[in-house]
Structure 1
Amino acid sequence: MKVYVVGKKEALSYIAMAFLLILCGASFAHLYLEDPGTKSAAASVRQLPIYSVETEEKKVAISFDAAAGADDTDQLIEILGKHNVKGTFFLCGCWIRNHPEAVKKLYEAGHEIANHGNTHADMIKMDEAGMEREIMDTHEEIKKLLGIEMTLFRPPYGSYNDQVIQTTRRLGYEAVQWDVDSLDWKEQGLEPMIRQVLDNKNLRNGSIMLFHNNAKYTAAGLDRILTGLEEKGYTVVPVSELLLEGEYTIDHAGRQYPTTPTK
């Protein structure tokens, strides 16, 4: 067996070359593993709910989340009726069980009834089975009480991830958020709440507005808000009348677009 003897400088050169090859190999491996082209489309595309809708019509949707309290139900129905407006009420199962007569009043007044989960729990902390129970327990409550099938769902706290949206759609629901938050839940005062809606930079055709059914200033400010929207030329509709039918896409901001241009 032959033994090759190298000098000190040559040895250092070989060591440096070997180290460089190791680094290069690691770098190429890193690039390959992180290359988006090696991932499936499903894994790389984030699942989003609908925050607003692309439309040339000057219309917006009004929605109310209901998880606690029903004292303002009659007043909300009266004010909405005064303006000939139908809203969408996202109801929690616990609210339905505690206030079945209020649910019936809303439905009989022509307002849209939608799903807000069973216990107002943060669904991203659940497994898929837990998510399904949250949605379907409320679905069955309303089906038993009103005999209708709901199709719209809003995750409690507006909290969601890909699995929440995928589970929602698998169960035949459309997940809906909002792009105009009244911030009524912060209870900062009547005038700030009204300005927060009417002067909101996001307010435009296809906006979805968020209120809460029993927040401190909501009922007191609703008449002026609806009047202000009318003065801006908006027609206020329930969420389902705003959403697009057929095939659609959702952009990075959650705005729903038709897949083909509207003629």
Structure 2
Amino acid sequence: MRIIIFKRPSWRNVALWGILLFVMLAYRENVTSVFSGKLKPIYSVNVNTKAIGLTFDISWGEKTAEPILDILRKEEIQATFFLSSPWAEKHQELVRKMIVEGHEIGSHGNRHIDLNTLGAEEIRKEITSAQQVLEKITGQKIRLIRTPNGAYNNKVIATADELGYRVIQWSVDSLDWKRPGPSAVVNNVLNGPRPGTGAKPGDIILFHASDSAPDTIEALPTVIQSLKSKGNTLLPVGKLLSQSSSTWPPESNLKEEALPAK
């Protein structure tokens, strides 16, 4: 009978396997995406400056957008507004005011529906129909999109990329749409849900300027002033991208060969 003797692994191998397991658990979403070929939107960027992207989504409402513009003007801050085309069409003068005051306009789609539930042609139609409206109002090319509800899959990312768009997500969520109160919105941005997850250089902050987020009006000045006091600069996403060396996660740095076959 053959006797098999198992050698006890060295402490070094055990430690290496332990580190690998920790990394896979801590960053399981990114690890999974690397091995599955999953495409990603841009959540944040790598920068050598203290720049942070400031963004607002608007899909409905009459009361919140203008006070937010007033705050940004007072603080001398420009941001990116991701607009749904029906809202923009209804509020054309306000959209033009955003442009005059130096803000960037991105697309928030046409219908406020999850694009990952649609086929490629339907996704294309949603993006291009919103683009036609927004470009007519702004007189500018629209090349950034935040998908409704942040919903995406490979088909959404690949279709948007084919149309010349970069899909923008966020790394810091104010959760203002939950109406948790202004102090909670401030805490969500500056401190985050866990220690070390508050806004820092390279992050993209998500706010809403729809009427679903009235707390934003009161919370925004505190957020801006606190970030400024730490030497940070708040910028539209397009300018943040122009200062970046790369985007995060790595799967958001799309290359033609990485895209699924059309």
- TM-score exceeds 0.5: yes
Q: In the alignment, which of 38, 45, 48 is matched to residue 56 of structure 1? A: 48
Asked if 1:207 is matched to 2:203, the reply is yes
Closer, same or farther in 2 for the Cα pair 1:223/1:157, shift >3 Å? same
Partner of 1:86: 78
5+ long unaligned stretches in structure 1: 1-41, 258-263
Partner of 1:198: 190
CA-CA distance at 1:211 after TM superposition: 0.3
The DSSP-based 3-state class of the residue aligned with 1:48 is: coil
CA-CA distance at 1:74 after TM superposition: 2.4
Closer, same or farther in 2 for the Cα pair 1:171/1:73, shift >3 Å? same
5+ long unaligned stretches in structure 2: 1-33, 255-262
For the residues of structure 1 that align with 2:162 and 2:244, how far apart are their CA atoms? 17
Partner of 1:233: 231
Range that drifts further, 79-88 or 236-245: 236-245
* Aligned pairs for 1:1-263 within 5 A: 44-200=36-192, 201-202=196-197, 203-214=199-210, 215-244=213-242, 248=246, 250-251=248-249
Higher gyration radius (CA): 1
Percent identical among aligned pairs is: 35
Range that drifts further, 110-119 or 139-148: 139-148
The DSSP-based 3-state class of the residue aligned with 2:180 is: coil
CA-CA distance at 1:249 after TM superposition: 6.1
C-alpha distance after superposition, 1:22-78 (max 9, x if no partner): xxxxxxxxxxxxxxxxxxxx9941100100001121110100000011322221112
Closer, same or farther in 2 for the Cα pair 1:246/1:208, shift >3 Å? closer
CA-CA distance at 1:247 after TM superposition: 8.5
Range that drifts further, 115-124 or 242-251: 242-251
The DSSP-based 3-state class of the residue aligned with 2:47 is: coil
C-alpha distance after superposition, 1:97-122 (max 9, x if no partner): 22222211211211100001001111
Q: How many residues align structurally?
A: 216
Closer, same or farther in 2 for the Cα pair 1:250/1:181, shift >3 Å? closer
Contact 2:38 2:251 in 1 (8 A): no
Normalised TM-score (structure 2):
0.77
Contact 1:190 1:217 in 2 (8 A): yes
Normalised TM-score (structure 1):
0.77
For the residues of structure 2 that align with 1:172 and 1:61, how far apart are their CA atoms? 20
Contact 2:46 2:247 in 1 (8 A): no
For the residues of structure 2 that align with 1:247 and 1:224, how far apart are their CA atoms? 29
